[in-house]
Chain A
Amino acid sequence: AQKITQTQPGMFVQEKEAVTLDCTYDTSDQSYGLFWYKQPSSGEMIFLIYQGSYDEQNATEGRYSLNFQKARKSANLVISASQLGDSAMYFCAMTGADSWGKFQFGAGTQVVVTP
């Protein structure tokens, strides 16, 4: 069974600062994928970044980077230079190679960016 844990229910961050959102996971699969999605107050789920379990380099997408530490089973999201529009709920998710798309989501972290 797979499990995703996000221990930070909410956090405040000042505009232009960087923020790290924690995510740890547990799986017995050798091949798996880790994802981060953003859910603004409007409700839609927006894909941010993906890290494959065999990827040696940490994934980056613009201001988003994923700090992947396989041995520690962590996949933290780093948002650099926070903007007011980054205020949203952020979900970490994972899926195994045999059931791609059958995501296991974490509980989410609410981020509020302040001026």
Chain B
Amino acid sequence: DSGVTQTPKHLITATGQRVTLRCSPRSGDLSVYWYQQSLDQGLQFLIQYYNGEERAKGNILERFSAQQFPDLHSELNLSSLELGDSALYFCASTEGGVPATGELFFGEGSRLTVL
């Protein structure tokens, strides 16, 4: 158990809909990262937040947005869903903005299926 909690674990929805994925980082971790794992794109970095502020942005679509709240949990909002958004979405956390050993602690992922 990494200590990172993601909900929901599974989500099935229809095209055009909007969903919110939630992540609670390990206790004490200030940084939260979101990754998308799909069959055709592999593992892709989406976005990082550090202590409530956006720190780095990757291949995140404009239809997607994220935020980190004062209690440090984070939410990833996916809107106008398309079939291609079906993927496993990982949240990861680490203590600082630059982790000492580089290790990220991953949650178990939220599997999104868009029908």
- A→B interface (CB under 8 Å): 33, 35, 37, 42-47, 50, 52, 91, 93, 95, 97, 99-108
Contacts and interface: CB of A to CB of B under 8 A. Distances in A.
A37 B105 CA distance: 11
A33 B100 CA distance: 11
B101 A101 contact: no
Interface string B30-69: 0101010000001111001000000010100000000000
Given A43-B109, A45-B90, A101 B43 contact: no
Q: List 10 A-B pairs, minimum CB-CB distance, nearest first.
A: A45-B106, A105-B43, A33-B102, A100-B98, A44-B108, A47-B103, A102-B56, A102-B45, A50-B102, A43-B109
A101 B42 contact: no
Contacts of B97: 100-101
A50 to B, nearest CB: 5
A108 B42 contact: yes
Given A50-B103, A103-B43, A105-B44, 15 more contacts: A37-B106, A43-B109, A44-B109, A46-B106, A91-B43, A97-B98, A100-B98, A100-B99, A101-B33, A101-B48, A102-B33, A103-B104, A105-B42, A106-B42, A108-B42
B99 A103 contact: no
A3 to B, nearest CB: 12
Given A50-B102, A95-B102, A103 B108 contact: no
Contacts of A52: 102
A84 B37 CA distance: 25
A50 B94 CA distance: 15
Contacts of A97: 98
Contacts of B33: 101-102
A100 B44 CA distance: 14
